[in-house]
Amino acid sequence: MATGIIGVGHYLPEDILTNKDLEKMVDTTDEWIRTRTGIETRHIAKNEESTFDLAYQAAINALAHANIEAEQLDMILVATVTADQSFPSLACQLQAKLGASQASAMDISAACSGFIYGVITAKQFIDGGVYKNILVIGADKLSKITDWTDRNTCVLFGDGAGAAIVSEVSEDKGILSFELGADGSGGNALHQEDNKIRMNGREVFKFAVRKMPESAEKVVEKAGFTKSDVDYLIPHQANVRIMEAARERLGLPKKKMAYSVNKYGNTSAASIPISLSEDVHEGKIKDGDLIVLVGFGGGLTWGAMTLRWGK
Ligand SMILES: CC(C)(COP(=O)(O)OP(=O)(O)OC[C@H]1O[C@@H](n2cnc3c(N)ncnc32)[C@H](O)[C@@H]1OP(=O)(O)O)[C@@H](O)C(=O)NCCC(=O)NCCS
């Protein structure tokens, strides 16, 4: 047996904030945001809607898609940088609400790379024969730590959650290779200060356009494939120009790359699982497809994997 993903789900809050809305809040234009980032709208959670609420909905959807009950979960991992409290963890709160009585639970802090860190952590427990089903969630409500007076950052982010059930799959499916990395010396380029996101956009951009393509290419090679074997790419949805760098390095046509940054902005740890879930449910990812997931984020961190889709 191998370790793969048997179900996915996602959730986005209802309210939509457009570039035109942002024009009224800071000195920016719809044109600037679209051409520099590819973002047109983002979903923003209401005040009373917490990161937990987003994560819970995504979890319910992933459990239903995998056709398993919460009692069958052995572990819950939540990748987030916006948990409602530092403790108890969001994962423990979910364990209670879902009724996942057999599951251990913890949060993972790796910013926008968190979902990939979570899936690869889950893989170790399943490969080792310790656990069978692990719920991995990427959930963030960045709007609560966004400085809505800072045009450098407030146009970029959105709220949302995505989830996956990591489990045993047949030998020819599942996760085939991965890479996780960190460079703490670059941490100041993207950090939280006085409870707000602070970013050196140019520094993060330089890091991301180098790391995402490099890491995507590396995991394809590690799995013993060539770029032409790749069917679909899911890059972290931060900025279309950074995503394009990864797509071009793999030589893929545009339609073979997940693209939701225009609708949702950068949803941090949620961006990759939201895209994965959306594209699986829309039939863009099919049984047997070789897909590459690749992300980068605060830390600085990065992560990538190749995955043969299916059970
Ligand atoms: C932030 C980012 C979109 C800026 O785009 P860019 O093409 O690199 O823009 P530059 O940094 O060259 O130029 C920025 C200029 O635009 C201005 N600017 C920044 N935000 C603006 C906005 N929303 N509207 C209008 N102008 C803006 C800046 O003030 C700056 O002006 P200056 O040169 O007079 O100081 C880009 O650097 C980026 O995407 N970085 C990565 C961010 C990211 O992904 N973060 C999350 C990681 S998980």
Which pLDDT value is given to residue 25?
Answer: 97
Give yes or no for residue 205 CB within 6 A of ligand 1: yes
What residues have CB less than 8 Å from 37, skipping those under 6 apart? 155, 156, 239, 240, 241, 261
SS3 content of the chain, % helix, strand, coil (to 5): 40, 30, 30
Which pLDDT value is given to residue 213?
Answer: 96
Which pLDDT value is given to residue 19?
Answer: 98
Distance CA 122, CA 165 (A): 9
Give yes or no for residue 202 CB within 6 A of ligand 1: yes
169-172 contacts: CB < 8 A, separation 24 or more?
169/1, 169/2, 169/3, 169/4, 169/5, 169/6, 169/310, 169/311, 170/1, 170/2, 170/310, 170/311, 171/1, 171/2, 172/2, 172/308
Which pLDDT value is given to residue 126?
Answer: 98
| Ligand 1 centroid from CA 238, angstroms | 12
**Cis geometry, peptide bond prior to residue 307 (ω within 30 degrees of 0):** no
Atom 42 of ligand 1: nearest residue by CA position: 201
Question: Going residue by residue through the chain (311 aa), what tens digit of pLDDT does each one get?
Answer: 999 999 999 999 999 999 999 999 999 999 999 999 999 999 999 999 999 999 999 999 999 999 999 999 999 999 999 999 999 999 999 999 999 999 999 999 999 999 999 999 999 999 999 999 999 999 999 999 999 999 999 999 999 999 999 999 999 999 999 999 999 999 999 999 999 999 999 999 999 999 999 999 999 999 999 999 999 999 999 999 999 999 999 999 999 999 999 999 999 999 999 999 999 999 999 999 999 999 999 999 999 999 999 99
Give yes or no for residue 225 CB within 6 A of ligand 1: no
Judge contact between 263 and 106, C-beta under 8 A.
no
Phi and psi at residue 234, to the nearest 5° = -120, 95
Which pLDDT value is given to residue 157?
Answer: 98
Which pLDDT value is given to residue 201?
Answer: 96
Atom 8 of ligand 1: nearest residue by CA position: 202
Distance CA 93, CA 163 (A): 16
Catalytic residue among 65, 112, 133, 239: 112
Which pLDDT value is given to residue 134?
Answer: 98
Give yes or no for residue 239 CB within 6 A of ligand 1: yes
Give yes or no for residue 104 CB within 6 A of ligand 1: no
Active site residue 92: no
CB-side neighbour CA atoms (13 Å) of 249: 23
